[in-house]
Structure 1
Amino acid sequence: MSQKYAAFKHKVANYKIMDSYKNLHMWIEVNKYERLKNKWHLEIFHSWEDSENLDVELLDTMNRGAI
């Protein structure tokens, strides 16, 4: 079964990743999508050698919902 994802590019220090997740979740809510918490969510790492300059895409499963 296919899934739809909201994506957010995190390209700063690793300890700020929760801020990026907060922005991703706010975007989903503001745009009237529903997070599908029981589905697969992804983190695609492009660079992790430097913890002060992490490069990762955060993908949260979602669908159009009645919020």
Structure 2
Amino acid sequence: MSNNTISDIVTNKLQELIIVGFRVQCPGDQYAEKIPKAAKEVTERLHEINHLVQPIKQIGAFKAAESTDDEDGYWVGFEVTKLEDVPTDMTSLTIPEQTYAILPYTGQASGIFGAYAQIHQWNVKNGQERLTNYWSLEIYNDWENPQEVDVLLCDPVKVSDKI
């Protein structure tokens, strides 16, 4: 169970981000099995990725809304400073600068869905519009044990002009 609460949520703008790794596409009920496998493989092949920013921070990216075929799926990889010599069977994704509601989450991977529900409730309470057609990010400090992940959940938002 996570010790993080809704009061831990902050809004922050993140700069453009380029990730190199694997794209996972499968029926919805298979993501829980396939994403950890892709995360393990990209970690094992980290030495093949050029221009790494922080090889200890694995990043997941997805769009919550229905998207085009080019944007469908879940990307898992590592941030790079520039694209150069991407390994043949890997892919890259550029995430534009965006404002996010961010919740640090530590706990079982299965609890992440509940943590996102907390973020969504917080968005409503704070007058922020959730942007489901923008990239959501999961920035992992520790991902190897699904019983105890350490991740920043970044849900894209449009900040309200309310005072």
**What is the TM-score with the length of structure 1 in the denominator?**
0.87
Give % identity: 33
Q: Which amino acid aligns with 2:115?
A: S
Q: What is the root-mean-square deviation of aligned Cα atoms in Å?
A: 1.5
Residues in 2 aligned to 1:40 and 1:51: alpha-carbon distance in whole angstroms? 23
Q: Which runs of 5+ in 2 are unaligned?
A: 1-95
Matched, 1:49 2:124: no
Unaligned runs of 5+ in 1: none
Q: 1:65, CA displacement in angstroms?
A: 4.0
Runs of 4+ in 1 over 3 A off after TM superposition: none
Cα distance in 1 for partners of 2:155, 2:142 equals 20
The structure with the largest alpha-carbon Rg is: 2
Q: Distance in 1 between matches of 2:98 and 2:147?
A: 31
What one-letter code is carried by the residue in structure 2 that aligns with 1:27? Answer: W
Shift in Å, 1:44: 0.3
Aligned to 1:36: 131
The alpha carbon displacement at 1:54 in A equals: 0.6
TM-score by length of 2: 0.38
Q: Which amino acid aligns with 2:134?
A: K
Give CA-to-partner distance per residue, 1:6-49, whole Å, 9 cap, x none. Answer: 00111001111111011111111110100011111101011011
Q: Larger RCO: Structure 1 or Structure 2 (Cα < 8 Å, ≥ 6 residues apart)?
A: 1
How many angstroms does 1:60 deviate by?
A: 0.8
